[in-house]
Structure 1
Amino acid sequence: MKVRIAAVQYLLRSIKDWDGFENQVRFMLKASAEYKPNFVMLPEIFTSQLLSFMDADNNIKAAVRRMHDFTPRYQDLMAEMARKYGFYLIAGSHPNLRDGLLYNTSFMFSPQGEMFMQDKIHRTRWEREKWDTSSGSKLHLFQTEYGAVSILICYDIEFPELSRMVCEAGADILFVPSSTDDRQGYWRVRYCAHARAIENQVYVAMTSTVGNLAVEGLGMHYGQACIMTPSDFPFSRDGIASEGVTNMEQVVVADVDLDALMQNRINGTTIPLYDKMREVYQNPVDIIKTQNSTTKS
């Protein structure tokens, strides 16, 4: 089965009100829909664009919490777009309050407008120290008619155990909404995402915010969308199905073949998803001292 993925490189620009945000989202999702995708993904915390018309200068921690007030409007808009265009929408991520705690949550909407959630599990230093977010505690695998998918938000893809868990549970595609401010940050996420595609024999789609905002910690963004494959004969050269132009507003589209993925997991040049030596992983690391323990005079 062929599945089409569209990843949006979302340009952060200053806006004056909610309407400015909504108009840009509608435009980008309409443009994405023209490619007839099964999945569309927006970047991590792209809703931070709302901070450009809020008072964020004096207290960024409080300002981010006020973004929660827009959560119902954000959810209604994304559900409407998913229903209108008939795709699954991984609607980036959005800071939201639950029981007084702030989470960085990716919301996924089905073509029927149903909403699903995946909290970010590993927080960056910025999220801990400046935004004071809370960690998610559970991974989810979403069974869709276009394969089983999971969402790992940005930093979470740098922890291989998470990807292995959802892939052993049956994931076909990992979605990685991301937001990075510099080149090395982007490539940390990108290199790790591609490693996860190879070691788990899974497709990985990531996208990033681009542009800039006059908001503390969000001034500059470095990003590029990319749809990655395992590295083997049935897939694209270099394991890249499609990638965007760095730091440009655009939609990156690729078709991925779930049947080829299933065959590669059994008949691939290597089959790392199934070749894991589980019994070895249960043993503690054997620490051996090699230096001479006697002191020579």
Structure 2
Amino acid sequence: MIVRIAAVQYLLRQIHDWSGFENQVRFVMQAAGDYRPHFVLLPEIFTTQLLSFMDTRDMPEAVRNMHDYTPRYLDLMRELAAEWRVFLIGGSHPTLRDGQLYNTAYLFTPEGDIYEQDKIHRTRWEREMWDTAAGDQLHLFDTPFGKIAILICYDIEFPELARMVSEAGADILFVPSCTDDRQGFLRVRYCCHARAIENQVYVAMTSTVGNLPVQGLGVHYGQASIITPSDFPFARDGIAAEGTANVEQIVIADVNVDNLAHNRVNGTTIPLYDKRHDVYENPVQVVEIR
């Protein structure tokens, strides 16, 4: 089965009201939708563009006030997923639940359903500057175009999460990301490659680019990519497609989900199935050297 993925390098530019945000989102969705993808991926916390016209003198409070726009965000994304008949990973959005602020990714289906995946691991910035809460549940979404999971940015740096969803049957990992510098971007990018190899899955990532006159959002380094396992049926360098760093762009690639099942059994190496579960249950033995 051939699956087409579109990953949007979303340009954060200053806007003056909700309409500015909505118009930009509609533009990128039309640009992506014209290629008839099955999945469209937007970046982590790209909705922070709304802060460019909000009062940000108290940043933790400003981020919480973004929750006021959650109903409009959900309605817009649900409408666009239905209009373009795509599974839309709508980046992530700061979301209040029971007084706690979560970094939540939303999956919108062509039929109008909405699913959520909270970020499991918070960065220091999210803990110390935004006072966010951590999610505690992974989800595997069984779609007509393969089983998918969403690991938000920092979460891809923890191999246990990717292994858990891969052992549950994931075919594609979607990684919405937001990083301010090249080092941060490369941490996420290199880990995406590692997770694709370790688990014999496809990994689609994308990032915010541009800048906002808002504390902590002044610079961004980003590049979208669609990454494959490293073996004969796949791209020579493990990259099905990638964008040009730090420009507004949409990266599109076709991937063959059937190749994954074949490669997991017949690959040059088969790390998903070769894991020694019996050894992993043993504690590390410390050997004193004098």
Q: Do residues 221 (structure 1) and 220 (structure 2) align?
A: yes
Q: Secondary structure at the match of 2:137?
A: coil
Paired position in structure 2 for 1:13: 13
**What's 2:137 paired with?**
138
| 2-structure distance, mates of 1:73, 1:133 | 22
Bigger radius of gyration among the two: 1
Which residue is equivalent to 1:295?
Answer: none
1:198 match: 197
The equivalent residue for 1:26 is 26
- The RMSD of aligned alpha carbons is 0.3
Q: Which runs of 5+ in 2 are unaligned?
A: none
CA distance in 2, matches of 1:173, 1:113: 21
3-state SS of 1:238 partner: coil
- The one-letter code of the counterpart of 2:51 is L
Whole-angstrom distance in 1 between the partners of 2:52 and 2:112: 28
Once the two structures are superposed, residues 37-82 of structure 1 have per-residue CA deviations (whole angstroms, 9 ceiling, x without a partner) of 00000000000000000011x2100000000000000000000000
Which one-letter code corresponds to 1:219 in the other structure?
G
**Normalization by structure 1: what TM-score?**
0.97
Could you tell me which residue of structure 2 aligns to residue 50 of structure 1?
50
Amino acid across the alignment from 1:64: V
The one-character-per-residue Cα deviations of 1:197-242 (angstroms, maximum 9, x if unpaired) are 0000000000000000000000000000000000000000110000
- Alignment partners' CA distance in 2, 1:166 and 1:96: 24
Alpha-carbon separation, structure 2, partners of 1:107 and 1:277: 34
Q: What is the SS of the residue equivalent to 1:93?
A: strand
Match of 2:147 in 1: 148
Aligned twin of 2:207: 208
The amino acid across from 2:279 in the alignment is V
Structure 2 letter corresponding to 1:121: I
Q: How does 1:58-207 map to 2 (within 5 A)?
A: 58-207=57-206
Corresponding residue SS for 2:126 = helix
- Percent pairwise identity: 70
Letter in 1 for 2:177: S
Q: Secondary structure at the match of 2:129?
A: helix
Residue 6 of structure 1, CA deviation: 0.1
Q: Summarize the alignment of residues 225-240 of structure 1 with structure 2, pairs less than 5 Å apart.
A: 225-240=224-239
Structure 1 position 160, deviation (Å) = 0.1
Give the drift of 1:246: 0.2
CA distance in 2, matches of 1:96, 1:147: 27
Q: Deviations over 1:155-180 (max 9, x none)?
A: 00000000000000000000000000
Give, in whole Å, the separation in 1 of the partners of 2:259 and 2:102: 36
Aligned residue identity for 1:50: L
Deviations 1:134-158 (CA, angstroms, capped at 9, x unpaired): 0000000000000000000000000
Equivalent position SS for 1:116:
strand
1:247-290, Cα deviation, whole Å (9 max, x unpaired): 01010000000111110001000000000000000000000001
* Count, aligned residues: 290
Q: TM-score, normalised by structure 2?
A: 1.00
Q: Report deviation, 1:93.
A: 0.1
The alignment partner of 1:118 has SS state of strand
3-state SS of the aligned residue for 2:287? coil
| Deviation at residue 113 of structure 1 after TM alignment | 1.3
Distance in 1 separating the partners of 2:70 and 2:96: 9
**Which contiguous aligned blocks of 4+ residues in structure 1 show a shift greater than 6 angstroms?**
none
